[in-house]
Chain A
Amino acid sequence: MVQVQESLTPQVITVETTINGKAIQADIPSHRTLLDFVRNDLNLKGAKLSCDVQVCGACTVLLDGKPVSACTTLAHEAQGRVVETIEGLADGHKLHPIQQAFIDHGALECGFCTPGMILTVKAMLEEIPNPTIGDIKWYMKGNICRCTGYKKIVEAILAAAAELSNDQKVAG
């Protein structure tokens, strides 16, 4: 019984991680979610709390480049890893091509799902640079838009993919 009580006592873990390119060291209670950590401790409010059960995608951040639901990821899981939130995507005033495509194609309404959507798109385009509409629907299924503006989101993703592969041709 004593063992159970000990395991229920929150422990503080010193976590070293990189968030939006910045090295961060913090003492974090072991049960603190990555979402609480970025929103409340680091004041990065772009990732949203919505369903809190890894269904809606509003809290999506990138962990080593892969989309994760920050609501169901513990902050200490970011130990030694690279976290990217929507706030780190633009290069100063220069928007990332995915952000620009979302604006140009009107791929947002209330905008609540947008930060998570955009980060998932970034991960997808690194994995699948030229996705088909089927690829997009499959990869984006964990990001829900309650305004239901999916058609324009798909259009924006196709445009961003074309833009990014053009950039690569120029650079390459």
Chain B
Amino acid sequence: MIGQSISRQDALEKVTGRAQYAGDLSIGNVCHAKFLEVRLFALALTPERVWKALKDQPRAQTRAIATSSAEV
């Protein structure tokens, strides 16, 4: 072994395209989430204002927004 090259254990999967990466996994029935930056001052954070800000970003059906822990 000393002085000899050994090949990677996962090399075969990688050269044949069988290696799975996060984007290749499809497990189904999962929630999708995306972080959005809401440009509001923290002091003025109310559920109504967050709702209004998100309304203009139609990326998903918004069911509920929890702001209580961020409210002053």
Contact in complex: A45, B8 (CB < 8 Å)? no
Contact in complex: B17, A108 (CB < 8 Å)? no
Contact with A along B5-43 (1 / 0, CB 8 A): 101101111111111110110000000000000000000
Contact in complex: B18, A108 (CB < 8 Å)? no
What's the nearest-Cβ distance from chain A to residue B71, in Å?
Answer: 38
The count of residues in chain A whose C-beta lies closer than 8 Å to any C-beta of chain B is: 25
Closest residue of A by beta carbon distance from B11 = A103
Indicate whether A112 sits within 8 Å of B5 (C-beta atoms), given known contacts A86-B16, A102-B11.
no
Closest residue of B by beta carbon distance from A99 = B15
A residues 82-108 with Cβ under 8 Å of B? 85-87, 89-90, 95, 99-100, 102-104, 106, 108
Majority SS at the chain A contact face: loop
Q: Which residues of chain A come closer than 8 Å to B20, judged between CB atoms? A: 45
Contact in complex: B15, A102 (CB < 8 Å)? yes
Contact with B along A40-60 (1 / 0, CB 8 A): 000011111100000000000
Indicate whether A114 sits within 8 Å of B15 (C-beta atoms), given known contacts A45-B24, A48-B21.
yes
Where the two chains meet, the residues of B that have a C-beta atom closer than 8 Å to any C-beta of A are 5, 7-8, 10-21, 23-24
A-B contact pairs, 13 of them (CB 8 A): A44-B17, A45-B20, A46-B17, A48-B24, A87-B17, A90-B16, A95-B12, A99-B15, A99-B16, A103-B8, A106-B8, A108-B8, A111-B13
